[in-house]
Structure formats: structure tokens, C-alpha cells
Homo-oligomer: A and B are copies of this chain.
């Protein structure tokens, strides 16, 4: 199962092909015809060879005649397919994959491999597949030391001890993420601690080697750079984006970078955020900052991705007027239309920070003249840190399906980020990734479904969470119906279960500070991060309507009304938007306090059932994965109980209201 590597042994996730000599799909893999060459072409051929060898037990051969070949791979000219789409058709004896570019064919090949592995009947169709999002990105928060910020799957496979790693695992990573359509990665932490030097001459050569590897799989490579680079590595005494010396420094630096790494996608910047340097220091706007860099990088077709995660992280907890939820919109809405075409704003899905439940950020739809990326997090920072199972695709689906009402036809978040709504091309979706150098890549085996699922959704936002789960299970484990049923049962319920025993009703943040793991109701309550629940003896929650902080006013009218009206505000966000008494009756018919108790007991019961069901898989899946998941589910059960007891006890001690069902609360 594992391939031995110089660094470490590791698995092939959903690209583990299990031998099936009797497969009816064999007939399409006798030989291939290909009408183009180059790095991607070579990689396609390698992939086909590996697949046929492992799946069917023989070596596929090249065929120079279209007529005699079973698998035809062709570059064509077809405007409807765009840069990355492919056309898939089949006859009784032939599969034909056509695309405008080599990468489209690559995606088509991975498509048929997926279909075969899933035993899918989709082979019956002829169809075109065009990715809905132009940019489908993974962000690595890897430091050059090898540590990963918010990493729960081991260390970085990009960096070690300050150096860039080039090895087989990197190549395998490229093919793994290309197989699900990822076309962009950012390889280092947005908090640039030890990676200033990445843009110095010493590192650019290796960076170029990396860039080439990923280019062979249609993937553009970005790096995070510090806004303070002119000072830190340039020795200037300013990083003011309007300062001439600063501008000259960046121009020269970009010329050097692109001379040595011509295929670099661009820079990702976290500025003026959580202590990071930025244009605010010099009284400049984020548009000033981003546009200056965009100008410098434009001649190389480079792109500046600029994060909108800007808020006051020095808030006084006594200050009830400031609302962190407002900050993204307050900071960036006034700049709408002021960014250059090669600037993209990267906006977190919610207005806070990847909590288990948040409303959608009102910047989506709010920004009408600005390139946008939706940023989600598959690194489970606040959702169990890959010690808990938490399949996030249902959450992402809700976000993508959210109607902002910014446009009568294309008002959904998925429409906006696809570029459709405002007719943009530099748009898409990005995930803070969950990978590391663990043998299984994602720490928790089941967290692999988030990596797979995010990418699949990025390609096609109409896929359902269930479809994606099934695909992943079949390829990663096997096609056994019981396996599919049990694992998808766990996956599809896991987010809701995690939410049940977490902070209640959208209020968030009841975690231990710094590591963000485990319950701590007041952990952030008297701190400076703008993350308060304000629970007292009578109630809990924040009034974010116009009578409170006014955050709801940042949404379009229909949503403003939806969230402001206590009758229409969804239960799961009630405490995010409203301050309510413990005796307030939810749509569910339960009081808030009883909901807290019930959901926390229920959440633990859910995990008990996950564990019980998982045990039924012992004989049905490979033992290594079985054991690893089993251990994590056992831990999750213990930890879910801790969550249950701490949250319930906290609210019981505060409210003095007993559980109606008489269960023991400490």
C-alpha cells in the first residue's frame, strides 16, 4: 500500500488502484493515441501506465492510428471548452477525450480513471466538463522550518530546516491534487515568519524547479510574501506602498523573481492582520498596497491575491460597540472597484474565522467590481483538528448555495466566485489545506474526504456532498455497499454532530486560546480578539441587528430581514445575530438552554454511533486505515464528552436552569 520514499513512506489516497483483472472497462485501455507532446503529455502517459498496470495488470501501449486506438487523447479547438474543460465521448470500443489544452486532456484522463475506480455508469454518457471556478486553489500554511501553522498531519513536505524540498513526494502531491482539478497552490504560510528569504536569489532556483514540477500537472505556484519585504530583506526603512524607493525595490525584485521563476503565479498577501505589516502603517489603503504590487507584477502576468482578513485584534472586551464581524466589509467595501484587474481579494466564508457555524460574509455580493476568491479551511482548526471527523463539504455546499440577492439571476455565492455574476475571470475558491507529511497525508484518514471533496466541489459546485462522499469512499476504500453506507453515514453527519457538542447556535469561539482545541467557554471572553458570547445569568448572544452592532445591515435587504427578524433567523445562527434569554423558545420548540443540553448529549451519542458503526468495517477495509480511524474515533468520543460536560456545566452554573430530562450536569 505504501511507496517507500527517501523522506518517509506515504500512501496514494484516492489514487490507490486495486487490481481488478476482470474489469469490463479494460477494453478502453488497450492502447492510447495522443496528438500532442510536452510535460503534461508525458505525465498523462505516465498516469495511464501506472493505472493500467496496477488496475488491470498489464502495460498500456501507444498507438499511432486513431482508428485502432481505444483511448484517443486529442488537442482540438473548441471555444465551448475553455482553457481547462474537456469533451468526453465514447463508442463501443473507443473513448475520446478532447480539449483545447493539454491540461484539459489530463483532467479527462483522471476523470475516466475515477469513473473506472468508482465502477461508475457515467461511462455511458457523452458530455463536456468545464470547471465552474477559474481558480481552484490550495493554501499551505507551511513555514520554512518545516512546521505547519494549524497543521494536524505532521510536518511540511515542501520545507525542512529552512530549505525547499524537491522529491518524489512533491511529484506525487502534484498528481494527486491535479487528479481532482486543483490548478493553483500557495506553498508557504500567509504569516511570513521565516520565509522572507524565499524571494532572494538563493532560493529562486529551487522555487523554479518546484514551479516546473507543478506546471507539468497544470498547477500554478504562488508564494506568500511579506508586505514588509523592502525593510526585512531590502534594508529600506519603510514599506510605504507610495514611497518611490519602495516601489523601485519591488519592481527590481519582481524582475529578479520572474527572471528566475518565469512561471510563478504571483503573491498571496496577508497585510495589516493579526500583527502582520501592511499599508495601514503608512496611512495608505489596502488598494494602495495591493495595486502597487499588482503594478510591479503585471508585466509578468502575475497576480496579487490579497486577504480580507483584517480586523482589530486589540479590542477591549469591555467595548461592546466594536464588532469584529463588521470589519471585513467595513474595510473593503469602500474600496470596491479600486483594485487593479490582476488583484484578487481572498474572502473567508464567514465574517469571523472558520467557526463551525457562521453566516456567509456580506462581502460576497457586497463587492460588485472586484475580483473575489472564497476562502474556506479544510485544515480543521476549529472543527476538531483532524482528531475529530468533520466532513466539511455540507458546510461548503450551504455557503455556495447562499443567495446574497446581489443579482436576481446569479445571486448565489457560487455564481459570484465562478465569475458569472459580475463577469469576471480572476475568481474562484481556495482552501487552507489539511495535508502534511503523515503517511496518510491528512492525519485522520477521513479528513482525506475534505481534501478530495473541496477540489471536486471547486470544479463542479453542483455536486452534492453525498455524491462526493461516495466517490471518495469507493476510490479510497472500496466499492462494498456496506463500506459506502457506513462511511458516508459517518461523513454526512459528522459536521452536524461536531456542531452539536460545540459552541451553541452560531455563537462560536468557546475554545482554548492559541491552540483552538478543546472547550473553554470563557477562553476568549475577556481577551482582545473580538470574539465574545457575553453570557450572563439571563442570556447569551450578540445583537448584531440595527439595534445592536448593525452587522446585519451589511447584507442585502432580504438577508438583512431574514437575519434580523428573530422569527426568520435560522435557529443555528440565532445567537450569532441575537442576544436571547435562556428561556427563549427556538423554532425547534425547545428553549435555548434545553437546546444546549439536548444537543450536547445528542452530539456525544452521535459519536458513539460513529464508533459503533465503524467497528463493523473491521473485515471490510484495510487494517491500517481501520485502526487509525478507530483510534481517532475513540479519542473523539472522550473529547466530545469533555465538550458536552464543560459547555453544559458552564450554562447550568450560569443559568441555574435544570435539564428537563434530569440528566447529570456537573
Contacts and interface: CB of A to CB of B under 8 A. Distances in A.
A521 interface: yes
Contact of A526 (B520, B536, B537, B656): B520
A318 interface: yes
A522 interface: yes
Interface string A307-348: 000000000011000000000000000000000000000000
Contact of A318 (B538, B645, B654): B645
A653 B318 contact: no
Contacts of A536: 652-654, 656
Contacts of A352: none
A187 interface: no
A181 to B, nearest CB: 44
A519 interface: yes
Nearest to A642: B526
A640 interface: no
A83 B652 CA distance: 62
A79 to B, nearest CB: 61
A304 interface: no
Copies in the complex: 2
A653 B521 contact: no
Interface in A626-658: 645-646, 649-650, 652-656
Contact of A653 (B520, B537, B649, B652): B537
Given A522-B520, A522-B522, A535 B318 contact: no
A440 B536 CA distance: 45
A150 B526 CA distance: 24
Contacts of A646: 526
A422 B50 CA distance: 84
Contacts of A537: 537, 653-656
A654 B666 CA distance: 16
A122 to B, nearest CB: 50
Interface string A242-253: 000000000000
Nearest to A641: B318
Contacts of A318: 645, 666
A647 to B, nearest CB: 10
Interface string A518-559: 011110001000000011111000000000000000000000
Contacts of A653: 534-537, 654
A629 B537 CA distance: 41
Nearest to A522: B522
Given A519-B526, A521-B522, A526-B520, A538 B656 contact: yes
Contacts of A526: 519-520, 646, 649-650
Most B CB contacts (10 A, CB to CB) among A317, A520, A526 go to: A526
Contacts of A656: 536-538
A535 B537 CA distance: 12
A361 B653 CA distance: 30
A652 B666 CA distance: 21
Contacts of A317: 666
Most B CB contacts (10 A, CB to CB) among A519, A520, A521 go to: A520
A537 B534 CA distance: 15
Contacts of A650: 522, 526
Nearest to A540: B653
Contact of A654 (B519, B534, B645, B654): B654
Nearest to A514: B514
Interface in A557-594: none
Nearest to A518: B526
Contacts of A521: 522
A645 B535 CA distance: 15
Contacts of A520: 522, 526
A519 B525 CA distance: 11
Contacts of A535: 653
A646 B316 CA distance: 11
A526 B519 CA distance: 9
A535 B521 CA distance: 14
A500 B649 CA distance: 28
Contacts of A534: 653
A40 B55 CA distance: 87
Nearest to A653: B536
A649 B522 CA distance: 12
A311 B244 CA distance: 64
A535 B649 CA distance: 11
Interface in A584-624: none
A424 to B, nearest CB: 45
Nearest to A526: B646
Contacts of A666: 317-318
Contacts of A538: 656
Nearest to A318: B666
Contacts of A519: 526
A536 B654 CA distance: 6
Interface in A282-322: 317-318
Contacts of A522: 520-522, 650
Nearest to A649: B526
A534 B653 CA distance: 8
A526 B654 CA distance: 15
A535 B650 CA distance: 10
7 contacts: A519-B526, A526-B646, A526-B650, A536-B653, A536-B654, A538-B656, A653-B654
Interface of A: 317-318, 519-522, 526, 534-538, 645-646, 649-650, 652-656, 666
Listed from nearest, the 7 A-B pairs whose CB atoms lie closest are A536-B653, A537-B656, A522-B522, A526-B646, A318-B666, A537-B537, A654-B654
Given A534-B653, A536-B654, 14 more contacts: A317-B666, A318-B666, A519-B526, A520-B522, A522-B650, A526-B646, A526-B649, A536-B652, A536-B653, A536-B656, A537-B537, A537-B654, A653-B654, A654-B654
